[in-house]
Structure 1
Amino acid sequence: MSIAAQVQALLRFLTSDARIPLAQAMGKVKELQKANLINPEDILKADLTTLQSALGSEKVAKQVLNAAKRVSKKRPNEGGITLPSKKSRKADPLLELSPYEFEQSLVLPVSEDVGEISTTRLVTNRAPLMLAFAVTVLKYTMPEQPLSSRLSLAQAVVSANSRTKAVSLGIESQGADDEDWIQGQPTMKVLGREITVLKRWGYGWRGERVNESSDSPVAVVNSGTVADTSTTDPEEPPALWGLDLGALGRSNGPVIGSQQGNGSGLPIYRAESARDYLLRAFTFYHEPDAGNDKKTKKKNAIDDSSAKANALSLVLGAIDLLCQSWACTLTRDELDRRAWAWYVRVRPEVQDGVRGWGQKGKVNLSDILDLRR
């Protein structure tokens, strides 16, 4: 097993088996490496004093030792660690782009035609409209963030809201939000909702290409060692990823070896996925016509990709005009809080309870414009 694979496997063991919070576990990997304790078998052979010296706490040492015993009993032939196969590791073509090129590939269509916006009615469900609000509001509340980060953070808040709603309706059980492994990860608020994020240190999206390493203060790098990435320009806050807590929960811990292109092996909300979702989510509303036959109705109900892109440009334009009108009078925090109320005012009307889950409805873009200052 390569050194990099050993480090990643050890991090998975500490978080998912020993139940050590992610931020704390990342700080312990380097010390365990120094002590040559790189897998559960090595840990079982060590005495408690050696473990305590490496981990800095008798309580944590006992926790890790007990986890190694449990894992060895369950999977004695695997050393307690299961790594993803090489076949499952697909290459990400976006990694071949420079940061600047990547950001340009994500540009969204935004209309400035107030006349067309004011007369447009769209059909969608609530999640993509919330996503459109979040990604647009972030342009004003966090202008230092690149578009890839705004899309990722926007998707994170939409997913967090959906999980909460699903739990309240009994559709899902409690998600990963309260799990131990996310303790210590940085958080921020979008539309008043707290989300967990990864810091993208060294992401030179404004100009030259640089290597990106995610999370703070440490990240697993290609050499297999744990590199300190905490040194950064205090005047330039790092770009961010939204952490996918749902994927963390399903994997019972960090998804080591995931195809995220973020240097940390942690699952994130992909910016390109959020963009594609927006481009598919909005269609123009057509008044039903009793005189049309079924084929005509079906044709009118189906918008092609060009029409959907146009619909997206209009809804993003409406939200952008709304934010522009208030940006000069509200603080960033006030604008963020106000944006949630705006979304609630204009979101589609759906049935209560489970019947309304994912249901589509009409959105009058004039209602968004009416909220302008």
Structure 2
Amino acid sequence: MSATNLQALLRLLSQNAKVPLATAMSKVKELQAADLDSAEKISKVKVDALNPIFNDDKICKQVLAAAKRSAKKRAAGDDAGAAPSPKKKAKKGDLLFAADADAAAAASPEELEAALELPSSDADEAELEQTVLFTNRAPLALAFVFTLLKYSMPTQPLSSRLSLAQGYISITSRARAVYLGIESGKSAEEEGFGEGTPSVFITGKEIKVLRRWGYVWKRAGDQLPVDGSSAAEKNSEVPDEGDEPQVGEDEQPALWALDLEALKKSNNHAPIVSSASHRSTANAALPIYTPQSARSYLLRAFDTAPPSTDTQKKRSAAARNAEKESNLGRLLRALDLLYQSWATILPPEDLDKRTWGWYVKVRPDVADGVAGWGGKNSLRLADILALRRQG
């Protein structure tokens, strides 16, 4: 596939179909292998043909609809895969807003956090060392950052850690896309969106955030701070109605990562406020990186290596998905063992600084530049375990 065709396909997925850029990149190779590497080809198939690639009915329908629109425009003389006119505003329903996020999957915070639980594994060290996965780089980086936040921001609930990790990956992916010429123009933040907004830094990237004042959840058993539970207990205190919550410098209420690119596309300049008494009116219009999208991405990203095409054809989609979930559980256990080994002697800021280097040492080998985007290769959990502190 030429660089031009690859860029057109990525624009179709990420801009027209509104598939997260990291997800779009990871699916390019699979679309190419299925001979679905253009809007015209995709527009001629049914949703069922896309399901083995995306494993998500909603995304499949979005991609098919976008492909049909692009193919229709090309037939009328427009450029295939061109981005929507900048004058056309995104529909409000296309964005996921902070006002609805906490209730998106459940009726209470406890139920939301429970619905977001990720697979776990009781595999011993010997089993982990023999495990070889098949994946691309973006979901592995997401898994690293997600695990890091368990130790660097231990008072954050699962939903917030997923949102923040997804925000980090999306920002990093866009910067890479601009560098390679796949995307162009200034970022939303460079254009002033989110100015004055609270932020956190994760492995050198500034993530704009929305404070979820008053969000109280039941802590999961795996969310224990390295240095005890006092911070969590303080964070669970509910402020009096109408009062501004008092949060220490090293403590944060639950957070959402703001999706400034979605905010830019919506042409929404709603103010971002920190006052508890005014948060419902302005912050309701702000799109966020949802924990559900991060969780879904992780669940479908880790195959067993080497993948056997003949075997996969004989197995049901449910069996393949179950295997991916098991693989994710093993990966998260290996990452947890890595961070546990260092957390007893390193402060959170040092864990943060080391995370990118650890990821680079174990990430799958792929081709350089545009050709490597979405490329998959083997990931040995033994390499992750070898990064643990010795002695």
Q: Which residue number in structure 2 is paired with residue 253 of structure 1? A: 268
| Pairing partner for 1:195 from 207, 216, 230 | 207
Q: 1:170 to 1:85 in 2, by over 3 A?
A: closer
Following superposition of structure 1 onto structure 2, how do residues 66-105 of structure 1 map, counting pairs within 5 Å?
Answer: 94=104, 96-105=106-115
Q: Which residue number in structure 1 is paired with residue 375 of structure 2? A: 359
Contact kept, 8 Å, 1:286 with 1:300, in 2: the verdict is no
C-alpha separation between the residues in 1 aligned to 2:270 and 2:283? 12
Shift, 1:232, TM fit: 3.2
Opposite residue 207 of structure 2, the aligned amino acid is I
Partner deviation per Cα, 1:148-185 (whole Å, 9 max, x = no partner):
00000000000010010000000001321212231101
User: Any idea what SS the aligned residue of 2:379 has?
Assistant: strand
Q: 1:87 to 1:250 in 2, by over 3 A?
A: closer
| Pairing partner for 1:282 from 293, 302, 309 | 302
| Pairing partner for 1:323 from 320, 332, 339 | 339
Q: 1:172 to 1:368 in 2, by over 3 A?
A: same
User: Any idea what SS the aligned residue of 1:175 has?
Assistant: coil
C-alpha separation between the residues in 2 aligned to 1:178 and 1:88? 21
Contact kept, 8 Å, 2:149 with 2:161, in 1: the verdict is yes
Q: Which residue number in structure 2 is paired with residue 272 of structure 1? A: 292
| Pairing partner for 1:118 from 115, 119, 129 | 129
User: Any idea what SS the aligned residue of 1:341 has?
Assistant: helix
C-alpha separation between the residues in 1 aligned to 2:187 and 2:140? 23
**Higher mean C-alpha deviation, range 264-273 or range 160-169:** 264-273
C-alpha separation between the residues in 1 aligned to 2:307 and 2:146? 30
Shift, 1:262, TM fit: 10
Shift, 1:228, TM fit: 6.9
Contact kept, 8 Å, 1:286 with 1:301, in 2: the verdict is no
C-alpha separation between the residues in 2 aligned to 1:128 and 1:335? 19
User: Any idea what SS the aligned residue of 1:330 has?
Assistant: coil
Normalising by the residue count of structure 2, what TM-score does the alignment of the two structures yield?
Answer: 0.61
Shift, 1:191, TM fit: 2.3
Q: 1:287 to 1:301 in 2, by over 3 A?
A: farther
**Higher mean C-alpha deviation, range 324-333 or range 244-253:** 244-253
**Higher mean C-alpha deviation, range 195-204 or range 232-241:** 232-241
| Pairing partner for 1:238 from 253, 260, 275 | 253
User: Any idea what SS the aligned residue of 1:159 has?
Assistant: helix
Partner deviation per Cα, 1:292-332 (whole Å, 9 max, x = no partner):
xx744744898611101001001111111000000011110
Contact kept, 8 Å, 1:255 with 1:267, in 2: the verdict is no
| Pairing partner for 1:132 from 143, 157, 166 | 143
Aligned length: 265
| Pairing partner for 1:162 from 155, 166, 173 | 173
Q: Does 1:314 align with 2:333?
A: no
Contact kept, 8 Å, 2:133 with 2:304, in 1: the verdict is yes
C-alpha separation between the residues in 1 aligned to 2:263 and 2:298? 24
User: Any idea what SS the aligned residue of 1:181 has?
Assistant: coil
User: Any idea what SS the aligned residue of 1:129 has?
Assistant: helix
Aligned-residue RMSD, C-alpha: 3.2
- Which has the greater radius of gyration? 1
C-alpha separation between the residues in 2 aligned to 1:275 and 1:299? 27
Contact kept, 8 Å, 1:248 with 1:255, in 2: the verdict is no
Contact kept, 8 Å, 1:122 with 1:363, in 2: the verdict is yes
C-alpha separation between the residues in 2 aligned to 1:371 and 1:155? 24
Q: 1:335 to 1:175 in 2, by over 3 A?
A: same
C-alpha separation between the residues in 2 aligned to 1:297 and 1:86? 36
Q: Which residue number in structure 1 is paired with residue 194 of structure 2? A: 182
User: Any idea what SS the aligned residue of 1:107 has?
Assistant: coil
Shift, 1:110, TM fit: 2.4
Opposite residue 149 of structure 2, the aligned amino acid is L
Opposite residue 206 of structure 1, the aligned amino acid is K
C-alpha separation between the residues in 2 aligned to 1:83 and 1:336? 35
Q: Does 1:206 align with 2:250?
A: no
Partner deviation per Cα, 1:51-109 (whole Å, 9 max, x = no partner):
xxxxxxxxxxxxxxxxxxxxxxxxxxxxxxx9968999998763652111111111111
User: Any idea what SS the aligned residue of 2:208 has?
Assistant: strand
Contact kept, 8 Å, 1:122 with 1:364, in 2: the verdict is yes
Q: 1:269 to 1:85 in 2, by over 3 A?
A: closer
Runs of 5+ unmatched residues, structure 2: 1-88, 220-240, 272-279
